[in-house]
Structure 1
Amino acid sequence: MDDQNKNLILATALSFVVILTWFILFPPEEQAPAVTDSDGQVVTAPVSDGLAPQVGSEAAPAPVAELGAPAAEAARIAIDTARLTGSITLAGGRIDDLSLADYRETLDPTSELVRLLSPGADALPYFAVHGWLAVDGVNQDQVPDPDTLWELESGSTLTADTPVTLVWDNGAGLTFRKTISVDDNYLFEVEQSVENATGSQVSLRPYGQIRRDGLPDSRPFFILHEGLVRMSDGTLEEIDYDDLPDLSTDEQRSEVEANGWIGFTDKYWMTNLIPTPGTGFRSVARSVNGVYLAETVYPAVSVAPGGTASTQTGLFAGAKEWETIRSYEQEDGVEGFIDSIDWGWFFFLTKPIFAVLHFLNGIIGNMGWSIMLLTLCIKTLLLPLAWKSWVSMAKMKELQPEMEKLKEAAGDDRQKMQQGMMKLYKDNKVNPASGCLPILMQIPIFFSLYKVIFVTIELRHAPWIGWIRDLSAPDPSSILNFFGLAPWGTPEIGSIFYIFSLGVLPILLGISMWMQQKLNPSPTDPTQKMIFAWMPWIFMFMLGSFASGLVLYWIANNTITFVQQYSIMRLNGHKPDVFGNIIGSFRKSEPAAANKSSPPKGKK
């Protein structure tokens, strides 16, 4: 086997290994089922002994909310902004009912809005609550807990222009207030204050808590992080849901000196507690009997008799939009907030790739065409690297007749074959290894773009043309119903027959790979030749269920590569009869076609 073919086989094998590892060797883990009672109802996790706050303890965690009757019976305050709709319950002053006005569950414009937070009536509880921990001079039952019934002091509906203020008097000289405001996007501001009329000094610790009961109702992907995410003074930490119960006390807590945030992230949505930049706090991640908690606990504040103390914190609850999140980072000083998006191991590629894609989409207004233009930009950047490679491969293709003669002369003597090929390469100044470098360069770019298309919400429900209405989903057309001409449907995603339900884009992908392959030298070994001949069609089936945006990128990449390679070969005096070879490949064998190629320069 010659070095050129060894390297090409190696590069291709690496591509197959990585893709197959993703989807076969490491399938998605099954989510643990929710705990139910004998009637099949979801059980609300009880408060575990030893986890209630310890009065006066600097290490006290925030209390775990008990979802009792007050949450269902308490009055509510409506949330109504251009991007958010929902309500706040006066039970605990929880933000526990929130839907995203710009996003629906499906492409159907009449489908339900995406619901992010829930009080637990028709979904597992998921909410944010803010409160106080008693430290000195006051008992814990004298401070508001997550079920305390507050009163509305001012405001009627929470909008971007009108905040609301809640008040609670403990009857023992302490008056607590909670003022909640929200901006035009997804950032809430919660200001808590306590007024001391007890006649003696008291000490309290403010806290914020996000509680999520059970696991999200979504299909898990091992390449995507869903769970807790937090930033602590520049250090990003991602903890999966199933790892939270196993954390030690030291692992649960992170002492943040100045800048940080903590919360839960899904594929497209997230909730995060964001203390005021420059504020120190304790970041706590824990799990209690199937309840997942993200907390910010602040240093104790002392309130003199007749005095007032207050604290302010942010709460992000919304879609993981790149531009919105970046504005909070750059304009509001939320350090590292852009890293709440799961950029993956190739973050040094995924971040700039998406930035360019977002810029192009801002100009073009269509993500599909932006992907194609991005591909052209990437291929232009890689052109100097590819130039020498394609010139070398052009020479290799012209040497095919000589290589066939060497193979016939050497017979089964592999050493003689290798020596003859190395001499042939040397005499014609051909580097057999240069052909696989562009292939190797494409692997991290391919995976980076796959990551970008998979995790960024900007591709969700983004249309391209005609039948492609969602670039984050597979091509919905199918050869099994003649691309919509037949009256029957197609197999659903996950069905054993779905892999055979090829759409238009996967078929174009296979054709584009096949055409590009015709410009490259054919292996002399029959086994290798067979592998390479089947490769475009194998990839066609493997990538057929990938996101349409990724398949579109691959088609554009193959097409641009074909044009570039063909042009470079022509400019360097080589005249590949690729179109004749494509037609002829249906009628005759490859060796016969190869014998009609022009002889190499200097050979008779």
Structure 2
Amino acid sequence: MDDQNKNLILATVLSFVVIVVWFLLFPPPEQAPNDPVPASEAAQTTQGAETGTAMTPGAEPATGTAAPSAPPATEEPAPRIDIDTPSLAGSINLRGGMIDDIRLKNYRETLDEDSPQVTVLRPEGERDPFYALYGWVPVTGVEANAVPTDQTIWTVEGTPTLTTDTPVTLTWDNGAGLIFTRTISVDSRFLFTVTQSVENTTDAAVTLRPYALLRRHGIPSDLKKFFVLHEGLVRMSDGELEETKYSGMEDYDTDSREGAPAERIEVADNGWIGFTDHYWMSTIIPDGAFRSTAKYYPNREIFQTDAVLPALEVAAGQTATTDSRLFAGAKEWETIRRYQNEAGVTRFLDAIDWGWFFFLTKPIFAVLHWLHSFIGNMGWSIVALTVLLKMLLFPLAYKSYASMAKMRELQPEMEKLKERAGDDRQKLQKEMMELYKKEKVNPASGCLPILLQIPIFFSLYKVIFVTLELRHQPWVGWIRDLSAPDPSSILNLFGLLPFAAPDPDSFVAILSLGVLPILLGISMWLQQKLNPAPTDPTQQMIFAWMPWVFMFMLGNFASGLVLYWITNNTITFMQQYAIMRSHGFKPDVFGNIRKSFSRKKAVEGKK
């Protein structure tokens, strides 16, 4: 194969890789889902479902809570208990005793001050129903209809409002000698503690299994579906982390008892199970051993996670009690770390999607968080983090930059070799290798800084995209959200013309470069000017276009990531500039290089 064909294939492959990476990072927007089913239609659907497979929380025998059913349209809604804490607002539904209405006081959906608060849990009848339900599975001595279900109307004792200082207690008497009690408390952040007890007033022992479950109706309408982000099932089972997307839950093996795809794990010591979104999460945290079950009900399009605790035998005249916790809130690093270290929630920090490079993303974020505690501005903290990373890598990068400077020195001699070799490529390669060996130059060492930056780049991209701490964080001026693309646009002269920038999801947005992407392209171009040009013309052309291709590719990346890349390029340019001068070159501000007189004389003296 001749060189021309090789170069053509290389250019084609590089172009294909760029296109693939672009569509992986920015998949086309999906159509918005249809409006939720009206309550009346939902009631008819769920009433029909009651005659089918029961939604049992995974205990034997295969009986337990019936399929969830919405109240008839003519029936009045059940009373609710308000939730009011420094971090949470919402209510508890006395029908089923469900925790199904949780809003985050300190987070809003958009930057607008009037934007609605972020909702984590929602009741049936609203968009994306998602709620927590607790109960008991009868084992022996109890009829299936003698335990509370999701339609049971509970009675509240004492205060009607759940606060950090005032727990609420719900009771239900089954009329057959069993009295069920549920006490719910909450801390100042996002952790609920649910204490379930059953009093046996009969003259015979009974056995029941307490459970807690999270039930999500359908795939969330705001699912991001980015390959770098996990959304769906997340659970920890005796130190083993599992992350399964919703599509993966649909592919579970069918449970022979319930007819639904399910996967069970017997947790011997500790763990937790639930669902994670981009920035929010809801997980059940049992106290001790439990059966961890993830399942999907295709007839209702319901995703469910169960935590079924060991069976409790309640003797006549005795009471049995069990505790579990529920996290429903924001994935704040500091809060989750405190629950892990102080509340004993095993490896809870792993609920944040750190990715394959977790050994880099975890410490990088920890340092970023520490810098932010001093600086107070996440944008400048990213700049400071970049400086620290460049300082850490400089000893390794110095050799590469020095090697590139030496390659610059050899450019005139390499041109002479090309003239002497003519079309004899084999002779040219042989003489070039002899020259490299003589001058002790490794042409491949110039790739080392790039190879070092790749995992750091992806780790920082992961940190900026996944962690909540950068959401809605401003930097300077027009950059009000470092987790979002630069909102300025060259198409309206950065706000000088009287019309808005195009929608970020439109194709035109690719051409709508902001200030930061343009600075990124310029910084890459300046840095590239200091590097020795490839000897092959096709490669020269590819490298010449790369800064501007990346300028468009990264234009819709998070502003924080673009800020990091600009800072990194700027520091790299300054380091290479200083090293080039130490080797007798005088680069100008645009990277154009000429030899100093003394260096030129030294080179001529060698000849």
Same fold (TM over 0.5): yes
Amino acid at match of 1:415: Q
Say yes or no: does 1:577 pair with 2:606.
no
Match of 1:560 among 541, 555, 571: 571
* Aligned-partner Cα distance in 1 for 2:414–2:40: 71
Q: 1:345 to 1:40 in 2, by over 3 A?
A: farther
2:22 equivalent in structure 1: 23
SS at match of 1:483: helix
Contact 1:190 1:312 in 2 (8 A): yes
**Rounded Cα–Cα distance in structure 1 between residues aligned with 2:32 and 2:40:** 16
Please state whether the residue corresponding to 1:471 is helix, strand or coil.
coil
**Residue of structure 2 in register with 1:541 after alignment:** 552
Secondary structure in 2 aligned to 1:383? helix
Correspondence for 1:294 = 305
Equivalent in the alignment of 1:229: 234
1:145 aligns with 2:149: yes
- Assess, with a 3 A threshold, how the Cα gap between structure 1 residues 430 and 388 changes in structure 2: closer, same or farther: same
Q: CA deviation at 1:16?
A: 7.9
Task: Report deviation, 1:257.
Answer: 0.6
Matched, 1:349 2:360: yes
Equivalent position amino acid for 2:120 in 1: L
Please give the per-residue CA displacement for 1:338-365, whole angstroms capped at 9, x wherever unaligned.
0111111111111111111111111111
Distance 2:118 2:58 in 1: 40
Question: 1:509-559 deviations in whole A, cap 9, x for unaligned?
Answer: 011111111111112222222111111111101100100000000000001
Instruction: Determine if the alignment matches structure 1 residue 51 to structure 2 residue 54.
Output: yes
The aligned counterpart of 1:119 is 123
Query: Where does 1:263-274 land on structure 2 (aligned, <5 Å)?
Result: 263-274=274-285
Is the Cα contact below 8 Å between 1:394 and 1:574 reproduced in 2?
no
TM-aligned CA deviation for residue 41 of structure 1: 6.8
Distance 2:391 2:129 in 1: 50
Deviations 1:323-349 (A, max 9, x none): 100110010110011011111111111
Partner of 1:510: 521
The offset of 1:405, in angstroms, is: 1.7
Structure 1 length as normaliser, TM-score?
Answer: 0.91
Q: Deviation of residue 61 (structure 1)? A: 6.8
How many angstroms does 1:121 deviate by? 3.3
- C-alpha separation in 2, matches of 1:416 and 1:380: 41
Moved more, 16-25 or 350-359: 16-25
Aligned-partner Cα distance in 1 for 2:577–2:102: 55
Matched residue of 1:122: which SS? coil
Query: Is the 2:585–2:596 contact (alpha carbons within 8 Å) kept by the matching residues of 1?
Result: no
Which piece of structure 1 moves more, 22-31 or 197-206?
A: 22-31
Cα deviation, 1:394-438, whole Å, max 9, x if unaligned, reads 010111111122222222111121122112212221111111011
Question: In the alignment, which residue of structure 2 is the partner of 1:309?
Answer: 320
Tell me the CA shift for residue 38 of structure 1.
Answer: 11
Equivalent-residue separation in structure 2 for 1:180 and 1:138 (angstroms): 25
CA shift at 1:22, angstroms? Answer: 3.7
Classify 1:374/1:48 alpha carbon distance in 2 versus 1 (closer, same or farther; 3 Å). farther
CA distance in 2, matches of 1:19, 1:151: 61
What is the DSSP-based 3-state SS (H/G/I as helix, E as strand, rest coil) of the residue aligned with 1:123?
coil
Q: Quick one: distance in 2 between partners of 1:182 and 1:163? A: 7
2:133 pairs with 1:133: no
Distance 1:61 1:400, change over 3 A: farther
C-alpha distance in 1 between matches for 2:312 and 2:487: 58
CA distance in 1, matches of 2:462, 2:78: 44
May I ask how many residue pairs the two structures share in their alignment? 584
- Distance in 1, Cα, partners of 2:333 & 2:505: 30
Pairing 1:255-270 to 2, within 5 Å after superposition: 255-270=266-281
Kept after mapping to 1: 8 A contact 2:36/2:125: no
Query: Which whole-Å CA distance do the structure 2 matches of 1:56 and 1:511 have between them?
Result: 63
Q: Report how far residue 14 of structure 1 moved.
A: 10
* Larger deviation, residues 38-47 vs 391-400: 38-47
Q: Choose which of 162, 170, 176 in structure 2 pairs with 1:166.
A: 170
Question: Which letter maps to 1:452?
Answer: V
**Separation in 2 of the partners of 1:505 and 1:529?**
26
Q: Is the 8 A contact 1:76 1:89 kept in 2?
A: yes
- Secondary structure at the residue paired with 2:494? coil
* Structure 1, unaligned runs of 5 or more: 1-5, 585-592
Kept after mapping to 2: 8 A contact 1:99/1:113: yes
Partner of residue 250 from structure 2, selected from 227, 245, 265? 245
TM-score by length of 2: 0.90
Deviations 1:159-189 (A, max 9, x none): 0111000011111111111000000100000
Partner of 2:476: 465
Q: Aligned ranges for residues 436-515 of structure 1 at < 5 Å?
A: 436-515=447-526
Residues in 1 aligned to 2:146 and 2:422: alpha-carbon distance in whole angstroms: 93
1:365 equivalent in structure 2: 376
Paired residues for 1:209-224 under 5 Å: 209-218=213-222, 219-224=224-229
C-alpha distance after superposition, 1:102-148 (max 9, x if no partner): 00010001111011111123323211010011111110111111110
Q: Give yes or no for contact 2:185–2:194 (8 Å, CA) kept in 1.
A: yes
Structure 2 counterpart of 1:497, one-letter code = V
Counterparts of 1:269 and 1:259, CA distance in 2: 22
Q: What residue in structure 1 maps to residue 188 of structure 2?
A: 184
Match of 2:430 in 1: 419
SS of structure 2 residue aligned to 1:444 = helix
Change (3 A) 1:352 1:42: farther
In the alignment, which of 101, 110, 113 is matched to residue 109 of structure 1? Answer: 113
Residue 350 of structure 2 aligns with an amino acid whose one-letter code is: D
Equivalent-residue separation in structure 2 for 1:102 and 1:355 (angstroms): 22
2:68 to 53, 62, 65: 65
Indicate conservation of the 8 Å contact 1:399/1:600, yes or no.
no
- Aligned in 2, Cα 1:156/1:87: closer, same or farther, shift over 3 Å? same
CA distance in 1 between counterparts of 2:16 and 2:466 reads 22
Q: CA 1:578/1:525 → structure 2, altered by over 3 Å: closer, same or farther?
A: farther
1:154–1:166 contact (8 Å) kept in structure 2:
no
2: CA distance, partners of 1:347 / 1:15: 28
In the other structure, the counterpart of 1:432 is 443
Partner of residue 542, structure 2: 531
SS at match of 1:543: helix
Give me the whole-angstrom Cα distance separating, in 1, the residues matched to 2:418 and 2:305: 67
Shift of 1:581: 4.8
CA contact (8 A) 2:57 2:213 kept: no
Contact preservation (8 Å) 2:25, 2:226: no
Q: 1:234 to 1:109 in 2, by over 3 A?
A: same
Q: Percent of counterpart pairs with the same letter? A: 59
- Quote the Cα distance in structure 1 between the aligned partners of 2:79 and 2:57: 30
Provide the C-alpha distance between the structure 2 equivalents of 1:384 and 1:84, rounded to a whole number of angstroms. 49
Deviation per residue, 1:11-47 (Å, 9 max, x gap): x999987764443368759689569879997786635
What is aligned with 1:589? none
Letter in 1 for 2:155: E
CA–CA separation in structure 1 for the residues paired with 2:269 and 2:62: 19
- Whether the 8 Å CA contact 1:398–1:599 is kept in 2: the answer is no
Query: How far is 1:53 from its partner?
Result: 4.2
